[in-house]
Amino acid sequence: MADKLVPAPDGESPFTLICEGLLADDLPQFRHEIELALHAQADYLTDIEYQMFKGGKKIRPIVMLLAARMIAGGAPLNPKVYKGSASLEMLHVATLIHDDIVDEAQLRRGVPSVSAARGIKTALLVGDLQFVQALRGFAQNVETERDMGLVRLVLDTAFDICRGELDELDRTLPADIDSALARYYQTIDRKTSELFRLACHAGVELAGGRLRDARRAGFFGRSLGRAFQIMDDVLDLVEYEGSAGKENGVDLTQGRLALPVLFALQSLGQEHAIAQALRGEITLCGEALEQAIDDLRDSGAIDRAYVHARREAYQAIFYLKGFAPSPYRSALEDLVRYVVDRPLNPAIIYKVEVYP
């Protein structure tokens, strides 16, 4: 597999090849563990929650299984890997439920959010239930001192996720771009990247890999998570209207310090409508929101954010060099490439350079 970041053929997603090929025997066991974990909560769940576990690409469990397969190859995996991947997905769903509460989101993947369907109080408790069940799943794996170390990593990750969610509510604007970037990366590391880091570290460790390899895989996961979140910021501003089940500019309306927004503020200044909205002084909607998005696109901020995403992608692939070449390592490389090279709206992305 070449090291160069190149687009997938015709923007094709690598998920089908991975799910139907490399992980065809592993994913049913992952889904079985999800079913077991949900069965313990059955009295408190509705179809809304079950749909959340059925939907999505399951990228975090897939990354964890691929990381484990880099160590185990085609040999049977330790059952702890499947239980861990199910717990990881449960932890992720918990964050989605809590995010929808904070964002007052009515939809999640095209269906009513838990908070919209069942109310904030119930949604909060159901989200907490997923957090606790996820931690229980990892704790049930404990047999050795090394397993206990992994549980501590899981607890630290859950703690960081909560800190990241609180960080995102802070609407103070840093005075300079360096401070702004430091705060941005701290927030996305806690809220997004740490879960990818946990997926890769745990996958290698539960498959019997060396601790130094688990840490290297964790660094890969962190860079992948950063690229993933930056591209999510970009997609919020350039994707086709409604293609992701939401309107463009959600980060602006919610007051999030997304990376393209930070770069736009450098050009547009602290008195622009975007800065006023981030400080909570005005609410952007309708024509004002459309104008703000147009100004942001024209500022070159999307180009700069895209460059940062590709840097993280290159860094992620670098961390994989310590592992022996295999179809599983190649699949992880393909996922990284897909994250930064997935098709965007050509009517809007007319300035972004594709760096070699």
Instruction: Kindly report the average pLDDT of the chain as a whole number.
Output: 88
Segment 111-140 shows an average pLDDT of: 94
Secondary structure string (H, E, C) spanning 330-346: HHHHHHHHHHHHCCCCC
pLDDT at position 12, please?
64
Residue 141 vs residues 44, 138, 146, 264, 275: alpha-carbon distances, Å: 25, 5, 11, 46, 47
pLDDT at position 254, please?
79
Q: How many C-beta atoms lie closer than 10 Å to residue 7's C-beta?
A: 14
Q: Is the pLDDT of residue 322 over 80?
A: yes
Selection from 332, 338, 329 nearest residue 309 by Cα: 338
pLDDT at position 73, please?
97
Q: Where are the domains of the chain?
A: 9-338
Q: Please check whether the domain covering 9-338 is classified as CATH 3.30.460.10.
A: no
User: Would you place residue 108 in the very low, low, confident or very high pLDDT band (cuts 50, 70, 90)?
Assistant: confident
User: Would you place residue 344 in the very low, low, confident or very high pLDDT band (cuts 50, 70, 90)?
Assistant: low
Q: pLDDT, tens digit, for every residue of 69-106?
A: 999 999 999 999 999 999 999 999 999 999 999 888 88
Q: Is the pLDDT of residue 244 over 70?
A: no
Q: Is the pLDDT of residue 8 over 90?
A: no
Residue 209 vs residues 173, 215, 273: alpha-carbon distances, Å: 43, 10, 51
User: Would you place residue 345 in the very low, low, confident or very high pLDDT band (cuts 50, 70, 90)?
Assistant: low
Q: Is the pLDDT of residue 321 over 80?
A: yes
Q: pLDDT, tens digit, for every residue of 164-223?
A: 999 988 878 777 889 989 999 999 999 999 999 999 999 999 999 999 999 999 999 999
Contact 313, 339 (CB under 8 A): yes
pLDDT at position 343, please?
65
- Cα separation of 37 and 86, whole Å? 8
Least confident segment among 82-96, 104-118, 122-136: 104-118
Q: List, in sequence order, the alpha helices (H) in the chain.
A: 15-17, 27-39, 47-54, 59-72, 79-103, 114-118, 120-139, 145-167, 177-188, 194-206, 211-238, 250-254, 259-268, 273-278, 286-298, 301-319, 327-341
pLDDT at position 352, please?
40
Q: Which residues pair with 111 in a beta bridge?
A: 108
Segment 25-53 shows an average pLDDT of: 96
pLDDT at position 250, please?
80
Percentage of residues in the chain with pLDDT exceeding 70? Answer: 90
The DSSP-derived string for 45-112 is --HHHHHHHHSS--HHHHHHHHHHHHHHTTSPPPHHHHHHHHHHHHHHHHHHHHHHHHHT-SEETTEE
- Cα separation of 116 and 284, whole Å? 22
Does this model's pTM top 0.95? My answer is no
